Amino acid sequence: GAGVSQTPSNKVTEKGKYVELRCDPISGHTALYWYRQSLGQGPEFLIYFQGTGAADDSGLPNDRFFAVRPEGSVSTLKIQRTERGDSAVYLCASSLTSAANTGELFFGEGSRLTVL
């Protein structure tokens, strides 16, 4: 497809388990972002990739969260030892240039994570 693709669309897991969320950006987009949206809140920035490297990971809440983008395209957000407070919709977005260069972001539909 032409848009940002995220899998799985829904994930239910138990507290303490490990979770991986995948994002396939728009072809040719070098910038990739992960956001988290909790109920009643706006999207909250987690991490930004320019190519293969994490240019800014200041939004990751703690060391249980990690993201990779090994070939500069698909990215995986990894959450270790999940907690109930991690329950949210995880949004991925891509862009031709970084948001700081006034490039608007194209979002996927999100992965809804529920930690029981």
Partner 1 sequence: DQQVKQNSPSLSVQEGRISILNCDYTNSMFDYFLWYKKYPAEGPTFLISISSIKDKNEDGRFTVFLNKSAKHLSLHIVPSQPGDSAVYFCAASANSGGGADGLTFGKGTHLIIQP
Q: Which residues bind partner 1 (CB under 8 A)?
A: 4, 33, 35, 40-45, 48, 55-56, 58-59, 91, 93, 98-102, 104-110
Q: How far is the CB of 102 from partner 1 (least distance, A)?
A: 5
Q: Which residue has the tokens 């809140």?
A: 41
Q: How far is the CB of 67 from partner 1 (least distance, A)?
A: 13
* Six-digit token string for 44: 């909250």
Closer residue to partner 1 in complex, CB, 80/97: 97
Closer residue to partner 1 in complex, CB, 16/109: 109
Q: Which residue has the tokens 């897991």?
A: 13
Q: How far is the CB of 107 from partner 1 (least distance, A)?
A: 3
With contact defined as beta carbons under 8 Å apart, do 47 and 76 qualify?
no
Closer residue to partner 1 in complex, CB, 14/62: 62
Residues 6+ apart with CB under 8 A from 113: 11, 13, 19, 21, 79, 82, 86, 87, 88, 89, 90
Q: How far is the CB of 27 from partner 1 (least distance, A)?
A: 17
Closer residue to partner 1 in complex, CB, 35/79: 35
CA distance 92 to 114: 17
